[in-house]
Amino acid sequence: MASVRGYFHPKTATGDASLIPSPPWHYSGDLLTVEYRTDPARVRELLPETLELAEEDPGAVALIWADWQSCAADGSQLLDPVLAQYKEAFAVVRCRYKGRTYSRCVYIWVDKDFAVARGLHQGYPKKLGSIHQTRPHPYGPAPRIEAGARFGATLAAADRRLAQAVVTLREPSESNGFVNSHPMAHHRWLPSVEKGKGLVLDELIETGAASFEAGQAWVGDADLELFEAPTEELARLEIREPIAAYYRQVGVVWDGGTLLESGTSGAE
């Protein structure tokens, strides 16, 4: 009997048309991170019942732009760049679960369909958007990675600009910030196809990097603006106080996560 193959839709006789390959997934990226404080109540309203606010600095937010190249274990996508290159922007907060502090992505936009599919698998709430950031380069007018270098970043979705930032590097840093420095606590949700049956998938999972390497982090300052839009809520995480901005080049491997609990999120 014939069977269909593929890690994700569409499943076919060969599996070659699957939107994403099976993990592990390997990433190389340039990250611009802007951290600031918002009203902790605005963070709390984004957390399901099973999660609590972080004890320290509960209103801290990281808005991160990332310019990625990614591939499966064989690296073949790197030689067909349309399958490897994408950009994303995402908002991260911190939360607590059973006394442990986690990071949690509450909003995220990407510009490729395969990145959306990976996010659904990982519990990231990915949507399509338009994301751009200044790239460093050692020649010509592009900024070098050095004191005084300035990087711009923009985010738009559904033809509306949602955020923009200008980051000015100041000096090398021991870290790339603290908001996105914990394992991720994410939910994987899927409604039943039958009306009134609720969720058929309701999992709280922990994920993180299977391996990680990075270049020197730089800290600086940012001019960050958020904008209202009719179908987005990023601006509800209003800027009350800037913390810092960072630039870093990273390499990450993602290879699965851990189920923390199932069926108790209280999500509707």
pLDDT in tens, 100-136: 999 999 999 999 999 999 999 999 999 999 999 999 9
Is the pLDDT reported for residue 88 higher than 70? yes
Is the pLDDT reported for residue 237 higher than 70? yes
What average pLDDT does range 220-244 have in this prediction? 98
Q: What is the pTM of this model?
A: 0.97
Cα angle, residue 128 at apex, residues 242 and 260 outer, rounded to 5° = 75
Residue-level pLDDT at 64: 99
Is the pLDDT reported for residue 1 higher than 70? no
CA atoms 112, 42, 103, 243: torsion sign: positive
Contact 65, 32 (CB under 8 A): yes
Q: Which residues of 183-219 are buried (b: 16+ CB within 10 A; e: fewer)?
A: bbbbbbbeeeeeeeeebeebbbbbbeeeeeeeeebbb
| DSSP at 133 | E
Residue-level pLDDT at 266: 82
